[in-house]
A and B are shown apart, each in its own frame.
Chain A
Amino acid sequence: MSKQIDIKDLDIFYGDFRAVDGVQMQIKPRSVTAFIGPSGCGKSTVLRTLNRMHEVIPGASVSGEVLMDGNDIYGAGVDPVNVRREVGMVFQRANPFPTMSIKENVLAGVRLNNKRLSKSEADELTERALRGANLWNEVKDRLNLPGSGLSGGQQQRLCIARAIAVEPEVLLMDEPCSALDPISTLAIEDLINDLKDKYTVVIVTHNMQQAARVSDKTAFFNIAGTGKPGKLIEFNETSAIFSNPDKEETENYISGRFG
């Protein structure tokens, strides 16, 4: 498990509009990489190209390569469905399936991948995934109740459990804590720390302290102005980005000074 991601000359388009320009990056396995930058700079867009979720938006396209352990996920004959089964994703707002119980939510992805699960396998997997998401102790007595009855932070951890139940190679998180209170945020951050033992984690965040706390490497994206494409400005060890960035643009952003 856990794959290396190489992004080479990645341009992302919405129709004719060039949203992101020339991203080069190497993301090591078993590490946490944070994407930071102002709104609209394309960091979420880049994240969503890593599991081809941006294709959900009509007219979106990419050029360049995204290699997972050397295999281009945009290569000819690659099924995006298979890519997404290897690259899990957690969204900005928790989105458990409202009609499913907690247990069914955890197993939703697994049931897609291999249809049959014996009851004991299902129970075991549910426990493992929920323990992996630090949620087991809170929900073990109500596995058959709807997932929508949990608190926001618990729902988000349920979504993480759902994503890791399929044992992906990579876990993408798109601002997973932006709708959560500080205590739930802490729970998720602790979890991210545990997750990197097994997965390649990529997280988009608006919270620079969070990036500093959880990530090994940080990528700073910026945008020159409205209608201009977003660009990767600097990609480096997190400690370097926050203490001694190479570029002035990065320094201005992390210190809260602009222009």
Chain B
Amino acid sequence: MPTSTQTTESGPAGHSEPENGQKSGPANGPKPKAVVRPGDRIFSAATLIAGILILLILAGVALFLLAQSKDTIQAQISDPSSITGGNGFLPYVWPLVVGTLISAAIALVVATPFALGIALFTTHMAPRKLAPVLGYVIDLLAAIPSVVYGLWGIALAGNLTSFYLWLSKWFGWIPIFAPAEDGSVSQTGRTLLTASLVLSIMILPIITSLTREIFLQTPRLQEEAALALGATRWEMIRMAVLPFGKSGIVSATMLGLGRALGETMAVAMILSPGLLTASLVVSGNQTIASEIAQNFPEAAGLRLSELITVGLVLFVITLLVNMGARAIVAKTSVKGS
């Protein structure tokens, strides 16, 4: 196979040591050209274009957000009181950031155990005939438009009020379940907790399908090693499946988190927004995406720029979350055999 040998030899040699290239390559020039098939060239060009395109789009979004934020930044410097709320941009955006993070965190905390449970059930526990049906149903959840989730969430909210009342009665001493001063909770149930619970159902399918794929890839040899030692099904999962899938679980969760951070429609429909409060069972709080969606139609001038700046903040948060996830994945990934 002379083609492949030439390619591999002259590749690194051409970069670092041209002397070597002369020795190992054919003797017809100082820098022998590697033989490249047209198919390879087309394919590598196509992947390069795809890679560059995604970077360009991302850069375009970032540039647009930055350019449109200019007015807000100027207003912040010259006259902070002109920004919504009257105290400058930071006090305006801060509650939104906290609301967004809290709702996404709750959604993640609720959804992840369920997602892992469903994925483990479908891959390792379920009867062979039931497993694909379950997987199909879960994937179907991902295809439901968020408007429908919003409508369903509003219906759900009404039924949750008595539960919230119960929570505030018995667990009111925990700040997140504290009732309002007069001892009441939200009459409509359209609180941040309701929105977060609906969010958790929305991110369930993505975490489930990704972890399911990962669990399916557990090396059979590892599973058999555990079983042959006399492990029960659960012990086998703990010894072989979960350690192998750890990094995949983290990245699946982070993708779910990304979706929860950015989800707009359902939250905008369910949550009746208000000031930032620690309690999740009274009305109040707002998320970034929902704030933009609810105010964008009537916004103009500085208000419009404000909303876009808020969007920029969300963009940065998402970026940071993804970078953090990458770092975790890089640290926890194992080389399976």
Question: Interface residues, chain A, CB within 8 Å of chain B?
Answer: 51, 53, 56, 58, 81-82, 84-85, 88-89, 91, 93-100, 108-109, 112-113, 148, 159, 162-163, 166
Contacts and interface: CB of A to CB of B under 8 A. Distances in A.
Contact of B335 (A56, A93, A98, A112): A98
Range, interface on chain B: 20 to 34
A84 B225 contact: no
Contacts of B231: 81, 112
A66 B33 CA distance: 66
Given A95-B221, A95-B337, A148-B335, A108 B239 contact: yes
A100 B233 CA distance: 19
Given A93-B221, A112-B231, 13 more contacts: A51-B228, A53-B224, A56-B224, A56-B227, A81-B231, A82-B230, A84-B230, A97-B226, A98-B222, A99-B334, A100-B243, A109-B229, A162-B229
Contacts of B87: none
Interface string B214-248: 00000101111111111110010001100110100
Nearest to B221: A95
21 contacts: A53-B224, A53-B228, A81-B231, A84-B229, A85-B229, A91-B224, A93-B337, A94-B337, A95-B219, A95-B222, A95-B225, A97-B239, A97-B243, A98-B222, A98-B335, A99-B244, A99-B334, A109-B229, A112-B231, A113-B230, A159-B225
Contacts of B41: none
B221 A53 contact: no
Contact of A98 (B227, B229, B232, B243): B243
B230 A109 contact: yes
Nearest to A88: B228
| Most-contacted residue by chain A among B223, B224, B230, B244 (CB, 10 A) | B230
Contacts of B246: 99
A112 B235 contact: yes
A211 to B, nearest CB: 22
| Most-contacted residue by chain A among B228, B246, B334 (CB, 10 A) | B228
B15 interface: no
B2 interface: no
A91 B229 CA distance: 12
B230 A112 contact: yes
B301 interface: no
A111 B235 CA distance: 10
A89 B226 CA distance: 10
Interface string B236-273: 00011001101000000000000000000000000000
B230 A81 contact: yes
Given A58-B128, A108-B239, A97 B230 contact: no
A98 B244 contact: yes
Nearest to A113: B230
B228 to A, nearest CB: 4
Interface in B193-226: 219, 221-226
B336 interface: yes
B225 A91 contact: yes
Contact of A91 (B128, B221, B334): B221
Q: Top 4 closest A-B pairs, CB basis?
A: A85-B230, A109-B229, A89-B228, A99-B243
B230 A98 contact: no
Contacts of B226: 97, 108
A97 B227 contact: no
Nearest to B332: A99
A53 B227 contact: yes
Nearest to B240: A97
A112 B221 CA distance: 18
Contacts of B227: 53, 56, 84
A98 B221 contact: no
Given A97-B240, A97-B243, A112 B229 contact: yes
A221 to B, nearest CB: 21
| Most-contacted residue by chain B among A96, A98, A166 (CB, 10 A) | A98
Nearest to B223: A56
Nearest to A89: B228
A123 to B, nearest CB: 20
A113 B232 CA distance: 11
Contacts of A95: 219, 221-222, 224-225, 337
B229 to A, nearest CB: 4
A225 to B, nearest CB: 28
